[in-house]
Structure 1
Amino acid sequence: MNQFQNYNDNAPGDIQYVVGNPVSQVMKRVYLKMFLGMLVTAFVSMWGASSDAYLSFMFSNSWAMWLLLGVEIVLVIAISGAIKKLSSAAATALFYLFAVVNGLSLAPIFLIYTGASIVKTFFITAGTFGAMSIYGFFTTKDLSKMGSILFMALIGLIICVVVNMIWPSDTFGWIISVAGVLIFVGLTAWDTQQIKNMALMAPGDSVGRLATIGALTLYLDFINLFLYLLRFFGSSRD
């Protein structure tokens, strides 16, 4: 989250943003890259779910899922940590590689939940995400304090997920899902405002890299929100 911190410390909070100005142009590129990344993830996930060879390999080798998750973490760290050193093309390539790897790791959800419930949850997520992102972009309220709270809540959420993996509990799992929805709803608004402020302060030659890191951040917010909402709206195939 705080990869934006170096750019927005002096960003004014009461500037009026209008369609057509540089900030709006950056945000258009952010949303476009995010959308394309999600398309890549969706197509790869559907391919994985329909490939008997891929599914057989994944179910026969439990380490494969952990490997995919490890690669995802490495890619996020690489993009976020080296964003100022990477070229725009390299950052974009790493983002789409992340989208592919994430698609491979998400393929099993098509075996767990019905296609109709996945589509329904996607649209619910899209509406919720869109509303919060619009709020984060247009609000004149400084959401910095909320960001600190959400970051601590996210750390707590990760700890709870790990604990629930070791000592499974359905009730605790539902509580985690509720918390996850609330946290990523808030993060969507906060991250959008951070990206907006970063766009305001960033030099012109960093626009491409900014669009990539912004797309990655909002992509992660969307995917996590979708997965937690799927716990409530997904219909099991069993």
Structure 2
Amino acid sequence: MADYNTIRAAGVSGARTAQIDEGLRAHMNKVYGTMSVGTFITFLAAWAISGLATTTDPSGAVAQISANTYLTQFGSAIYLSPLKWVIMFAPLIFVFAFSAGINRMSAATAQLVFYVFATVMGLSLSSIFLVFTGYSIIQVFLVTSIAFAGLSLWGYMTKKDISGWGSFLIMGVIGLIVASIINIFVASAAMQFAISILGVLIFAGLTAYDTQKIKSTYLEMAAHGDKEWLGKAAIMGALSLYLDFINMFMFLLQLLGNRE
């Protein structure tokens, strides 16, 4: 892991170290700013799409989902038809495609693609407004925000090298994906509870790990004068923290959210 001791040992000190420190603050502000905008886009898109998918007017409605709420034709298409599987897995496919193609993008293009991805994620998450009460969604969002801020701050400030967590956490994510797919068909409440608990723990760890990795990546690039990748590195860092936040939010919502 690159840190200031490593930089000084390499002969970078004084004004150069101050320049790197200022650049690091700007880089992290770019990461958190991009991630925050993406998160806002996701929840705004989810809320707007859920509004288009439901109605309180039974005339012309396709299906009733609660006492006074009905699905529109649009809602039926995205929640009841086979299209729901495409919408469900679209964000996962999008992430892999984005990661594979970012080398061929400019930083501006990568940022635009990230915001498009955030909109697609909003479509995928829009059903939470049908399943959970609005109050509990806001409540869990605030809890997630506080937890995320604390974990990310610790990952940024700690002197402990936590880079060794990466392989275990990624294995945990793969296990969560497999278990979640299986539980789509099994529909076990006990399995869903276990998945949610593990999901919160894994993405809490990833929040700290990814924050330290973003910081370390910047220091390595800055120490070697590699500025070409810094713009794209900020977007990829924002994507990593965005995914940590969204997944932690969803698992906490499964545990703490009040259902309609």
Fold agreement, TM-score > 0.5: yes
- TM-score between the two structures when normalised by the length of structure 2: 0.81
Q: Secondary structure at the match of 1:21?
A: helix
What residue in structure 1 maps to residue 234 of structure 2? Answer: 211
**1:10-159 mapped onto 2 (5 Å cutoff):** 11-12=2-3, 21-52=22-53, 53=72, 54-61=74-81, 63-159=82-178
Segments of structure 2 that go 5 or more residues without pairing to the other structure are 8-16, 54-71
Task: Work out the percentage of aligned pairs sharing the same amino acid.
Answer: 37
Distance 1:230 1:166 in 2: 21
Report the CA distance between 1:210 and its aligned residue: 1.1
Matched residue pairs, number? Answer: 227
Q: Provide runs of 4+ in structure 1 moved above 2 Å.
A: 10-20, 68-71, 82-85
Is 1:232 matched up with 2:255?
A: yes
- Which amino acid in structure 1 is aligned with residue 31 of structure 2? V
In the superposition, the TM-score normalised over structure 1's length comes to 0.89
- Mark the structure with the bigger radius of gyration: 2
Q: Residue 82 of structure 1: CA displacement?
A: 2.6
| Distance of 2:158 and 2:164 partners within structure 1 | 14
Q: Does 1 or 2 have the higher relative contact order (CA < 8 Å, sep 6+)?
A: 1
Asked if the contact 1:37–1:99 (Cα under 8 Å) also holds between the matched residues in 2, the reply is: yes
How far, CA to CA, are the matches of 2:96 and 2:135 in structure 1?
Answer: 34
Q: Which runs of 5+ in 1 are unaligned?
A: 1-9
Q: CA deviation at 1:15?
A: 6.5
Partner of residue 181, structure 1: 200
Q: How far is 1:196 from its partner?
A: 0.8
Moved more, 107-116 or 154-163: 154-163
Q: 1:131 to 1:14 in 2, by over 3 A?
A: farther
Q: CA RMSD in A?
A: 2.0
Tell me how far 1:193 sits from its aligned partner: 0.7
